[in-house]
Structure 1
C-alpha cells in the first residue's frame, strides 16, 4: 500500500483505496477531529465523490468507518469539491471528497476538510501519523461499506445560488459557450449556471467513462477536440474543469486553452482583490499588472491557503489566491455585482470561468484578443508520466548538490542568471527565459515549466527541458 499526501489530498492506487486503506484514513481523520476538539461524537461529517469507477466503493467504505467512529455522515453525492466545501462551511461540518482530481483512472484519493475549511500541512501530518498508528497496532480494521442520507440536491442548490449571484442577470446574453462535459462532476452545473446568465450553451463530449483532464497540461488530443468544436459550433469559448471540478479549463474562440494563471489574474481583477497569493509556477508577468500585491508560495492549495492566512494576519483585506492550474481561492468576502460573495478558501473553477466570460461580454472582444492585450510572457508546461519518484528525487538532489551540476545539466539550454528553490528548481536564464523542473506531488510524474518571449522560443525550451528529463531517466534505467 503506497499512499501519500501530495499537493492536495491523499493519493494512491485505486485498488489500495478500495479496501482497508480507505477505512484506516477515514478512521484516522475522525480520530484527529475528535482529539483536536474540532468535532465530537455525533457531529456531522460530509462525503462527496467524483465519477471514477472506484469512487463509490471508496466512499461507502469511508462512510462505514466514520459511522463506526461515532460520527453522523451525510452523503453529498457526485458534486464539485468547491460545492462540498461550501456546504461544509455552511454547516460547520468536516468533509471528505473522494477524488483523484486529474490523475489517471487507476488512481484515486481523498481530500479532507475541517469544519472551517481545507486542512493544512500540519493536519496532513496528524492524519498520517494516526493512520500509521492504526496500521502498526495490528488490530483488524473493519472496512465494511455503509450508506448515509442523500444531501446531493442541497449541495447543488447552495452552489448554484452562490454562482448565479456573481454576475448580473443576462450578463452573458449573446455569447455561445461550449461546455466540455467529459467526466467532470461540474458538467451539469456549468450548463445550468451559464444558461442562467443568458448564454447559448452547447454541451460537448460527455463521457460515462472517466477521462483524466489536466487543466495545467492540456493534452494534444484534448486541444484537437476543443479546436474542432470551436470551429464546428462557432463558439465564443469552451469551458470545462478537471474531474472534481476545482480547476477550470477555458479555451478561446479558436479552441486554444488559456493558461490557468491567466484565469486567476482575471479573477483577481474581477473581484478587486488587493492581495493575490499564487505559487512560484504561475506566470512571472503577473507582478507587472500592478493591480494587487503578489505573494509567491510553493505549489499546492495548502501552501496558497497558508499564504492567504498570513496575509490576513498581517492585516490585509481583499485576499485571494490562485494556482497555475486556474483554481481560485478566496480568503475574504468580496462584494461582486452588488452582492456579498462569502469567502471560499479552497480551489474553485466557477469564479474564474465566470470572470473570464464576463470580460468577453463587457468588452465585446474575443478571448484571444483579451489574452494578448496583457502581453504576458509565453508560459508552457508539460509532464513526463510514469517517471519514478526515486528517479526524480535523485535528479533534484543532483541538481541541488552543486552549482556546477546544474550548470552542466543546462549547458545546452543557456546561461544561468538566478535560481529559485521555493518548489523544485526554477532557473532564470541570462536572456530572460525561465525553465523550471518540479516533481509532481500527486503522482510519479516530472513536470517542466518554461517561459519565453515568443511561443516558438517557449516550445523549443520546453522540448529541451523534457528531453533533458528523458535522458536523465534513461541514464537511471527508469
Structure 2
C-alpha cells in the first residue's frame, strides 16, 4: 500500500491488514525519529485491531505510545501539538465501515510532507529486525478535556445561548463529545446518529448523507444543523429551513467573521483548487485574498 491524499487507506483485513499496520508503525517510528506518539481512532469494527498493530510497531522501535481511544482526528492533532509528539489516527474518514486507514502526523501535530511519506514507503520495503528496548504503551487522560477547551476558546468569549442546534455525529468518533462541547457553549442541543456499533459509521448519515439532519432541523425548529463525518474532520451545515450549506459557504462565513474581528491573518484565506468560482468572487468583493493549494488538507495547513 502507498500513501494517498491523507494517509493509507483500503479495505480492512484484506488490503489494510494488521501485519501491514505493524510494519507501518515500525517504519514511521524510524523515519520520524519521535520519542513519544499519541494514537487514536474512530468507531469502526476494525479500528482496535489495526490500532493495536500500529501501536505495537511504534513500541517495537522504542516509541512511548499514549493511546487516546475513540477520538476525532483533530483532537489527536491537537494533543500531538500540545506534547510535541507524533500522532496517528486509525480511520477511513467518511468511507463505509468495511474500509479503514491510518493517518500520520509529524511531531507537533502537522501533516506529513510528500517527501517524508516517500521515506516511510522506502523504509517499509527494507525493514530489518527491531532491536533495543520496546517503548511503553499506556492510556492518556486529559486529552479530551484539553481538546474541548480548545474548541470553546474559538468562541472568544461568545456564547451559543438561545440557539437550537442539531448535530449529526455519523455514529463516529465525536459521538461522545458533541453533548459536552455544545452544552458548554450554551446551545440547546439535539444529537442524532450518536450510537456507534462498529458497523453503522457513516451509514446513511453524517456529512456525506445530510438528509436525516435536514429533516431533524425542520422537525425540531432548530436554528442550525451540523453534520460530521466518521472521524469528525469534515462538516456540512444545514440552515433553519433545512437547506444544505456546503464547505465553500462555511469557509466564506468564517473568513468574513475573522476579518470583521481583525483576526484574519494577512486578510487571506487558503483553499484548494476544488473551491468554486462563486467563493472566489465573494471573497474578491469582500476584499479578502485567496490562495490556492492542491487537493488535501495537508496542503492547506
Give the TM-score range, shorter chain: 0.7 to 0.9
| Separation of aligned partners in 2, 1:21 and 1:33 | 18
Does the 8 Å CA contact 2:169/2:232 hold for their aligned counterparts?
A: no
How far residue 148 of structure 1 moved from its aligned partner, in angstroms, is: 2.7
Corresponding residue number in structure 2 for 1:13: 11
Question: Secondary structure of the residue that 1:206 maps to in structure 2?
Answer: coil
1:131 to 2:124 alignment: yes
Q: Is 1:218 aligned with 2:208?
A: yes
Equivalent residue, structure 2, for 1:80:
72
Aligned-pair Cα RMSD in Å: 2.3
Distance 2:205 2:270 in 1: 19
Which SS does the other structure have where 1:164 is aligned?
helix
Asked if 1:204 is matched to 2:192, the reply is yes
Between the aligned partners of 1:164 and 1:147, the Cα distance in structure 2 is: 32
| Contact 2:176 2:194 (C-alpha < 8 Å) held by counterparts | no
2:258 to 260, 268, 271: 271
Residues 63-102 of structure 1 aligned to structure 2 (within 5 Å): 63-102=55-94
CA 44–173 in structure 1, closer or farther in 2 if over 3 Å, else same: same
Alignment check: 8 A CA contact 1:177 1:200 kept:
yes
| Separation of aligned partners in 2, 1:44 and 1:227 | 42
Alignment CA distance shift 1:216-1:177 (3 Å): closer
Aligned partners of 2:207 and 2:228 also within 8 Å:
no
Q: Residue by residue, what CA displacement relative to the aligned partner does 1:66-86 show, whole Å, maximum 9, x if unpaired?
A: 111111110011111111111
3-state DSSP of counterpart to 1:187: coil
Matching residue of 2:299: 303
Q: Distance in 2 between matches of 1:235 and 1:252?
A: 8
Is 1:150 aligned to 2:139, yes or no? yes
2:167 paired with 1:174: no
Cα deviation per residue 1:132-154 (whole Å; 9 max; x = unaligned)? 223xx7x7x9xxxx993111x41
Closer/same/farther in 2, CA of residues 216 and 129 from structure 1, 3 Å limit: farther
User: Which ranges of structure 1 fall in alignment gaps of 5 or more residues?
Assistant: 306-478
Query: What is the DSSP-based 3-state SS (H/G/I as helix, E as strand, rest coil) of the residue aligned with 2:100?
Result: strand
Aligned length: 284
SS of equivalent residue, structure 2 residue 177:
helix
- Checking the alignment, whether the CA contact within 8 Å between 1:12 and 1:108 is kept in structure 2 is yes
Q: Secondary structure at the match of 2:126?
A: helix
The structure whose RCO (Cα within 8 Å, separation 6+) is larger is 2
CA distance in 2: counterparts of 1:281 and 1:115, whole angstroms:
29
Instruction: Give me the whole-angstrom Cα distance separating, in 2, the residues matched to 1:210 and 1:50.
Output: 12
Match for residue 114 of structure 1 among 106, 109, 112? 106
Secondary structure in 1 matching 2:77: helix
Name the TM-score, length of structure 2 as normaliser: 0.87
Distance 2:90 2:207 in 1: 22
Question: 2:24 maps to what in 1?
Answer: 25
Q: Deviations over 1:397-436 (max 9, x none)?
A: xxxxxxxxxxxxxxxxxxxxxxxxxxxxxxxxxxxxxxxx
1:54 to 1:82, Cα distance in 2 relative to 1, 3 A: same
Per-residue CA deviations over 1:344-396 (Å, capped at 9, x if unaligned) read xxxxxxxxxxxxxxxxxxxxxxxxxxxxxxxxxxxxxxxxxxxxxxxxxxxxx
* Equivalent residues of 2:169, 2:227 under 8 A apart: yes
TM-score normalised over the length of structure 1: 0.56
Are the equivalent residues in 2 in contact too, given 1:215–1:249 (CA < 8 A)?
no
In structure 2, do the counterparts of structure 1 residues 73 and 172 end up closer, same or farther at CA, with 3 Å as the change threshold? same
In structure 2, runs of 5+ residues without a counterpart are none
1:269 and 1:173 map into 2 onto residues whose CA distance is 22
CA distance in structure 2 between the aligned counterparts of 1:95 and 1:7, rounded to whole angstroms: 17
Change (3 A) 1:215 1:302: farther
1:182/1:68 Cα in 2 relative to 1: closer, same or farther (>3 Å)? same
